[in-house]
Structure 1
Amino acid sequence: MALSTAFTKMFGVRYPIALAPMGGSAGGALAAAVSRGGGFGFLGGAFGDPEWLAREVPIVAGTDSPWGVGFLTWGIDVAVVERALEYGPRAVMLSFGDPSPYAERVRRAGALLILQVTDLEEAEQAVDLGADVIVAQGTESGGHGARNGRSTLPFVPAVVDLVDPVPVLAAGGIADGRGVAAALVLGAAGALIGTRFQATTEALVAPSITKAILEGRGRDTERSTVLDIARGSRWPAKYPARTLGHPYLDQWRGREAELAADPQARQNYQDDVARGTVPPLPVWAGEAVDLITDLPSAAELVPTLAAQTEEALTRAGRR
């Protein structure tokens, strides 16, 4: 069974699988491995740190495979996007915020424009801005997402119907080929996968993060703003983050306003990090973390996911 979709044809890749541009952890080696494996690798450009990009872009750009870069739209400016476009990415993905100041610049540079959306209003805006691909992110996803978003299962087909014929990638709670197959059945042209690729040999994460993901369970994940407030992060409160359990979640759950108004509590967090009492970073993880039990190379994982997808679709067809 060939996994040919509008996405694979548009990007010239073998499988309808893309790496989520996870800030910092989706570096050049991971993006390159995903692309070599037959998927599409995105660098996690986050806020567009020029030193980070200068270090990581050559790693993926030297593979002769298509690649892209993703940014946090609320935290960048035009100069960041223009700098990234100088590297010649096949696509630029923008998430969380108003992408309108950047859309035309991306298109003028000859890159494909990919916009991640968390509700139907954002999906309509993405169509109006001429997005080449739209990512429909469900609330099961790890990391940041909409406070009042919708689950992947009902959200993806709603976006597919609304934006047709623009190809849609499903995101959120997808960690194996069964999830990719489900996305295709829902009408998506592929899947954007994050947490599963965190647990690969090429991911730029500390061993403690990898260990936590391999041992984590979906029931232990929680979407909250507590850790962003404690860390002094600039993330807008409308985008809480799904993470694994954390002592500060237990201490401050439901007391977010109090935490935000207490500078000593935030200093205590920094002191706890320095002492090693709490991890340096939260463990961003989606609800499908239960399905992640090994640490493969991403280049090997992509065709494995594709084979699982074909098997799931074949099995469903027999039934």
Structure 2
Amino acid sequence: MTLSTAFTTLFGVRHPIALAPMGGSAGGELAAAVSRGGGLGLLGAGGGESEWLARELPIAAGAGKPWGVGFQTWATSIAAIEQALEYGPRAVMFSFGDPTPYVERVRAAGAAVLLQVTDLEEARQAVDLGADVIVAQGTESGGHGARHGRSTLPFVPVVVDLADGVPVLAAGGIADGRGVAAALVLGAAGALIGTRFQATAEALVAPSIAEALVRGRGQDTERNRILDIARSSRWPSKYTARTLGHPHLDQWRGREAELAADPAAARLAYQDDVTRGAVTPLPVWASEAIDLVTDLPPAADLVPALAAEAGRALARAGRP
């Protein structure tokens, strides 16, 4: 079954699957592999560190397939966006913050504008800004998302209705073809997938992180601000992060204000634990669907496998 949608038509890709532009871990090799597999690979540029972009952008662009790049809106700059646009991405995605200063520059370069939204206020802004694609992120997602957001299942169809014909991608808690099928049934034009692609051969993650993703379970994940505070991360407080369990969560759960009262001491304690090997240098960002992650396949093989599973799921659902 060929799953043709407004998203696949817009970008000329075979499958309605996009790589979540996970900061740091979605490097050039992973983005290129997803694109070669028939999806839309999105490089995870984060705030747009110039040296990192200079290394990873040519790899993503070298796949010879439609690809794009995603930025953390609150942390990026026009200089970083200009650097990415030099490589001719088909899409530029903005997440977490007001993308208004950047949208017209991306559009002028001929790239599609993808705007991720975590609540209805952000969704309305995305429509007003003329987004080419809106990504509706539910709270099941790994990594950062809305502190007071909605689950993917009820959120996506509301955004689809609000978007009024603008293609919507569902994001959050989608890690297999059944999730992709569910996204399509909800009215989305495809799925943006993170954690499942973080556990692939091409992802820029340490072996210990990859192993933790394969072993992890959904009930072991938790959405909080503790690790941002402990690491002195500048993430806006509106966005919390879903990670696997962590010693600092156990130590400071319910005491976030106390932890934030002395950020220098919090960071020093965290760095000391990293140095001693008591905690990993980076948290393990992971969605509630992590139970479905059981191996580390090549991403180029994973994309068509997810699409085929989605087709089978839709066929089953259509049986009388």
**Fold in common (TM above 0.5):** yes
Letter in 2 for 1:67: W
> Which residue matches 1:295?
296
Q: Per-residue CA shift, 1:149-195, capped at 9, x if unaligned?
A: 00000000000001111000000000000000000000000000000
> Which residue matches 1:115?
115
Question: Does the aligned pair in 1 maintain the 2:48–2:77 contact within 8 Å?
Answer: no
Q: Classify the secondary structure of the residue corresponding to 1:42.
A: strand
Letter in 1 for 2:282: L
With normalisation by structure 2, the TM-score equals 0.99
Q: Per-residue CA shift, 1:266-298, capped at 9, x if unaligned?
A: 211111101111111000000000000011000
> Which residue matches 2:188?
188
CA shift for structure 1 position 83? 1.9
Q: Classify the secondary structure of the residue corresponding to 1:278.
A: coil
> Which residue matches 1:214?
214
Letter in 2 for 1:44: G
> Which residue matches 2:33?
33
Q: Per-residue CA shift, 1:124-168, capped at 9, x if unaligned?
A: 110111100000000000000000000000000000001111000
Q: Classify the secondary structure of the residue corresponding to 1:139.
A: coil
Question: Does the aligned pair in 2 maintain the 1:18–1:191 contact within 8 Å?
Answer: yes
The runs of 5 or more residues in structure 2 that have no matched partner are none
**Percent identity (aligned):** 78
Question: Does the aligned pair in 1 maintain the 2:213–2:290 contact within 8 Å?
Answer: yes
Pairing 1:141–2:128 present? no
Q: Classify the secondary structure of the residue corresponding to 2:58.
A: helix
With normalisation by structure 1, the TM-score equals 0.99
Question: Does the aligned pair in 2 maintain the 1:144–1:239 contact within 8 Å?
Answer: yes
Map residues 172-251 of structure 1 onto 2, 5 A cutoff. 172-251=172-251
Q: Distance in 2 between matches of 1:266 and 1:2?
A: 50
RMSD: 0.7
Q: Distance in 1 between matches of 2:221 and 2:312?
A: 29
> Which residue matches 1:305?
306
Question: Does the aligned pair in 2 maintain the 1:259–1:266 contact within 8 Å?
Answer: no
Q: Classify the secondary structure of the residue corresponding to 1:82.
A: helix
User: Structure 1 stretches (4+) deviating beyond 2 angstroms?
Assistant: 262-266
Map residues 22-61 of structure 1 onto 2, 5 A cutoff. 22-61=22-61
Map residues 69-80 of structure 1 onto 2, 5 A cutoff. 69-80=69-80
Q: Distance in 2 between matches of 1:106 and 1:56?
A: 19
Letter in 1 for 2:308: A
Q: Distance in 2 between matches of 1:59 and 1:288?
A: 29
CA shift for structure 1 position 36? 0.3
Letter in 2 for 1:172: G
CA shift for structure 1 position 26? 0.2
Q: Classify the secondary structure of the residue corresponding to 1:280.
A: coil
Aligned residue pair count: 319
Q: Classify the secondary structure of the residue corresponding to 1:175.
A: coil
CA shift for structure 1 position 203? 0.2
Q: Distance in 2 between matches of 1:237 and 1:116?
A: 17
Q: Classify the secondary structure of the residue corresponding to 2:74.
A: helix
Letter in 2 for 1:245: G
> Which residue matches 1:166?
166
Q: Distance in 2 between matches of 1:241 and 1:171?
A: 15
Q: Distance in 2 between matches of 1:173 and 1:213?
A: 14
Q: Per-residue CA shift, 1:226-253, capped at 9, x if unaligned?
A: 0000011111111000000000000001
Q: Distance in 2 between matches of 1:132 and 1:12?
A: 14
> Which residue matches 1:271?
272
